[in-house]
Each structure stands twice: as structure tokens, then as C-alpha cells.
């Protein structure tokens, strides 16, 4: 029987908790009662379901190293002898206290041209189902792919625990270079490791995730297409096939100004090949329409191309604007689009009600959070109420989802932007990669990850990542399905 640790917060104080992995709700309530003097019947835990069932196994609803808010009024007449030493936030060391109070996420140290690596890891951590799978990974004799995931788990644990300002994933990088030798390429003139392409790394990391976790995770990223192949010189020669991929590509031409234009153009390709019907060369048009949308949609801007004169992957600097909310209904087959548009409209109605509810809550905050409470109590109460509202609206969205959704399928055709990986410079072998990640609670707050330097930026700064020069240009966009 193993132990797991987490924190509870009550009335502005943080209490470390250690329980066995088999402990149930009643065990936790008894421990919280001794620490906070809040009677067990008054305790409200800000987790899904509120932990109202005392027989629920605590480790099934509370994650290790997380912090859970507890509401409830202490009973001054409740006299108990604590079974453990109580450790308040003010009792922590200066370093521990600064980490508890600082909400800025953990950065990653650059290990020599590894910004492409760091930016990709920060963006991947934002994908909740991937993060949860990795943090729960526990294999005793993993192969190389499993070893890579085990090291990714160490990195994600550092992000979750926030014990340090920055983490150095050197072992993970070493294993990565064993599995994918292209990332071990060195500059012959200096002997240093070369800068690499973040998009290529991102793709290979998803390949490793597939190898370790299989369909249960890969389905959340997989796009399925119906591809129609037509001989343009003999239109009776038409073939169809089913294909899949884990990203959409946005090719950039001299007329591409918006993401949707680039996506639409990228789904139609003309190639010259020999016709099996006529026996002569012909131009064939490959036209794709989507037949399955994933929960998480990855979009790649095809900004790099091979330039013979320099012998490098040069960069297309053109500005291409992208939306915070992306609707891909016009990229689907007609019958699939009809399903998704109906669900899109229903989910947008729920989303509008959700937004109005939060606006009303924030406008009348004093009615919900009395001024008579201390500042710490007001903060705790507000955070708890907001979390309760988020759980309520997540349930409201889920009520609308179709019952026949395929594994990993987005209920509608709409996505919200959650992360951007960018590149500065003129070619993929140089310059600098960064990631920009949306906060999981505050949709207007974004984090800029510049290796070990992490800063908070507003949403309007993300609009400036559309390109147009050698400054930060979006290379990879990660979108999450509406209501998920």
C-alpha cells in the first residue's frame, strides 16, 4: 500500500496531507477536521462531485501533489488533538513559501539549442488527457519509448509541483536522441548540437505517445478524411479512399492571408502520374474532406521549405491571421457537416449562457462573497464558487453531446485555441522557438514560455503572432473542442 500527498487550502492556509492510496472520504474528513476544526458534516471539497460519498477512494478524485480548496466554518468549541504536526503556509521555508504563493508556471532551461524541445513540452502539457496519461504512467520495464514517457512524466511532475522555478530535462533529451537520431545532429564546424524543427519534434513525441498509450489517447488527435482521386483528363476515373493524420496543414501561398484559406487550399492537391486506365501520364486531383474531427486539433503552418541556394530550410515570412475560435464545418463531408453544425449551434447556446452566468457572478461578487469575510476567506470562497460553476457548465455541455460519439471525437465543428508554438528568424536551423499557452481557468490570460523565463501576457498579444517578418510567427496551433 503506497502513500500519496496533496495539499488542502482553507481560510488562506495551506495544509500538506498524506494518505494511503486506499483511504476513503471519511478518512480525509477526519484528518481535515483535526487540522481546520471544520466539522466533517460542514466540509465542502472543491473537486468533482464534492466528495460527498464518504466511501469514495480519495486517490480516485484527487491527484497527487495537487491543491484542493475546502469550504466550511470552523467550530470554535471543537477541541481535538491533532494526530499530525500541522504545517501552515507561514511555517514553510522561504523557498517553499515563495513557490506556493507564486502562480507563474515552471520554465525549462535551455541545454544548448534546445528551445524547440522546451517549447513543444510546454505546449503538450496543456493537453489535459495527454498530461493525465503521462502523470499516471507507471511501467516497471519500459522500452525506449516507455523510458522517454517516464522522463516526460518527471518533467510534467515538475510543472505540476512547482518546487523549482525551472527544470532541466537532460535525461529525456538523451533518450530522445537515441530514439530519433536526427535530433542528435551536430554542427561539424562547432561540435555543438544543431537547432532543430519544433514541428518535427512535436510529431515524433506524439508518435512515442501513440506507441506507449495506443488508441485510448491517439484517437483524441486523429483526423479521418475521405479522399477523392480524380483524373482531370478522364473524369470517369474516380477513386475514393480513407486516410488519417494527426494534424491539418496550412500551406502558405502569395495570396494566403487567413488560416481558413490555407487549410482549404491544403486539402486539394494536384499531382502528375501515370493513369492505369489510359496508360499515359495525367494530372490527378486529390480532394480531401474530413469525416472525423478529434477532440484536440493540431494545425501546422507550412512555413519552411528547402532552399537549394543556401542548403537550408528557409522560412515563409508572410502574415497569416488565425482565430481564437475556429469553425471547420466547411472542411467536412456534407453529411458529417450537417451533424456537426447542429451540435455547434446547441453548444454555442450553452456557451453564451455560461459567459452570461460568469459575467453576472463577477458583477455581483459581493452578494456571493460577503465583505465580512477576511481577504483570505473571500479569495478562497470566490475560487471555490468559480470552480463549482465550471463543473456545473462542464456538465451542461456534456448533456448536449451525442451518445454515439466515436472515441476521441469532437462533438461539434468548433475549436478554441489553447496553445501556440512560434519561431523567430529566417530558417529552421537557427532562430528561436517559444510557446504561448492559455491559462486553464482564465481564458484572457496567456503564458509566454521563453525557455526558463515565463511571463504572463494578455490575449491581444497572441494576435501579434501571425507573422509578417522574422519576429515570432505561429508555427503550430493547438485547438480544443468547444465544451470539452
Return the active site residues: 115, 432
CA distances from 450 to 117, 207, 420, 479 (A): 11, 25, 12, 21
Residue 93 CA to chain centroid, in angstroms? 32
Please provide the size of the chain in residues: 484
DSSP state of 73: -
| Strands (E) located in 157-233 | 166-167, 223-231
HSE-up of 297 (CA within 13 Å, CB side)? Answer: 30
Q: Euclidean distance between the first and final Cα of the chain, in Å?
A: 34
**How far out from the chain centre does Cα 168 lie?**
20
Question: What 8-state DSSP symbol labels residue 110?
Answer: -
> Is residue 385 a contact partner of residue 369, using CB atoms and an 8 Å limit?
yes
Q: Of 148, 147, 167, nearest to 157 (Cα)? A: 167
Question: How many CB atoms sit inside 10 A of residue 404's CB?
Answer: 7
Residue 43: name the closest of 80, 8, 16, 87 by CA. 8
Q: Is residue 344 a contact partner of residue 482, using CB atoms and an 8 Å limit?
A: yes
Find the Cα–Cα–Cα–Cα dihedral 346, 344, 442, 136, rounded to 10°: 110
The CA distance from 162 to 99, in Å, is 6
Amino acid at each position: 500500500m503506497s502513500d500519496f500527498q496533496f495539499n488542502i487550502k482553507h481560510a488562506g492556509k495551506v495544509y500538506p496531507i498524506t494518505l494511503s492510496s486506499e483511504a476513503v472520504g471519511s478518512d480525509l474528513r477526519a484528518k481535515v477536521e483535526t487540522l481546520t476544526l471544520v466539522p466533517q458534516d460542514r466540509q465542502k471539497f472543491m473537486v468533482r462531485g464534492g466528495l460527498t460519498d464518504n466511501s469514495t477512494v480519495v486517490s480516485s478524485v484527487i491527484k497527487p501533489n495537487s491543491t484542493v480548496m475546502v469550504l466550511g466554518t470552523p467550530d470554535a468549541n471543537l477541541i481535538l488533538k491533532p494526530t499530525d504536526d500541522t504545517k501552515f503556509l507561514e511555517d514553510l521555508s522561504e523557498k517553499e513559501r515563495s513557490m506556493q504563493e507564486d502562480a507563474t508556471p515552471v520554465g525549462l532551461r535551455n541545454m544548448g539549442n534546445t528551445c524547440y524541445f522546451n517549447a513543444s513540452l510546454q505546449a503538450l502539457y496543456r493537453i489535459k488527457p495527454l498530461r493525465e496519461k503521462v502523470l499516471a504512467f507507471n511501467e516497471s520495464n519500459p522500452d525506449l519509448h516507455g523510458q522517454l514517457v517516464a522522463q516526460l512524466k518527471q518533467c510534467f511532475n515538475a510543472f505540476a509541483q512547482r518546487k523549482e522555478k525551472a527544470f532541466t530535462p537532460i535525461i529525456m533529451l538523451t533518450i530522445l536522441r537515441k530514439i530519433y537520431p536526427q535530433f542528435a545532429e551536430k554542427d561539424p564546424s562547432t561540435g555543438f548540437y544543431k537547432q532543430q524543427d519544433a514541428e518535427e519534434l512535436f510529431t515524433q513525441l506524439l508518435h512515442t505517445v501513440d506507441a506507449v498509450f495506443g488508441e485510448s489517447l491517439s484517437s483524441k488527435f486523429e483526423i479521418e478524411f475521405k479522399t477523392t482521386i480524380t483524373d482531370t483528363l478522364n473524369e470517369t476515373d474516380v477513386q475514393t479512399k480513407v486516410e488519417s493524420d494527426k494534424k491539418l496543414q496550412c500551406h502558405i501561398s502569395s495570396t494566403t492571408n487567413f488560416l481558413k484559406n490555407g487549410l482549404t487550399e491544403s486539402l486539394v492537391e494536384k499531382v502528375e502520374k501515370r493513369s492505369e486506365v489510359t496508360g499515359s501520364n495525367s494530372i490527378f486531383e486529390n480532394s480531401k474532406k474530413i469525416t472525423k474531427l478529434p477532440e484536440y486539433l493540431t494545425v501546422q503552418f507550412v512555413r519552411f521549405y528547402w532552399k537549394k541556394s543556401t542548403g537550408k530550410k528557409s522560412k515563409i515570412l508572410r502574415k497569416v491571421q488565425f482565430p481564437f475560435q475556429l469553425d471547420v464545418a466547411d472542411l467536412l463531408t456534407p453529411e458529417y457537416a450537417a451533424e456537426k453544425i447542429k451540435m455547434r449551434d446547441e453548444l454555442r447556446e450553452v456557451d453564451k449562457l455560461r459567459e452570461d452566468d460568469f459575467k453576472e457572478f463577477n458583477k455581483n461578487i459581493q452578494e456571493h462573497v460577503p465583505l465580512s469575510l477576511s481577504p483570505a476567506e473571500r479569495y478562497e470562497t470566490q475560487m471555490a464558487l468559480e470552480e463549482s460553476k465550471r463543473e456545473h457548465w462542464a456538465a451542461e455541455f456534456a448533456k448536449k453531446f451525442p451518445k454515439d460519439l466515436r472515441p476521441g471525437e469532437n462533438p461539434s465543428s468548433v475549436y478554441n485555441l489553447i496553445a501556440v508554438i512560434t519561431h523567430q528568424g529566417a530558417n529552421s536551423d537557427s532562430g528561436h522557438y517559444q510557446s504561448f499557452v492559455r491559462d486553464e481557468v482564465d481564458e484572457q490570460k496567456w503564458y509566454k514560455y521563453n525557455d526558463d523565463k515565463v511571463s504572463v501576457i494578455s490575449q491581444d498579444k497572441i494576435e501579434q503572432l501571425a507573422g509578417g517578418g522574422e519576429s515570432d510567427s505561429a508555427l503550430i496551433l493547438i485547438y480544443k473542442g468547444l465544451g470539452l
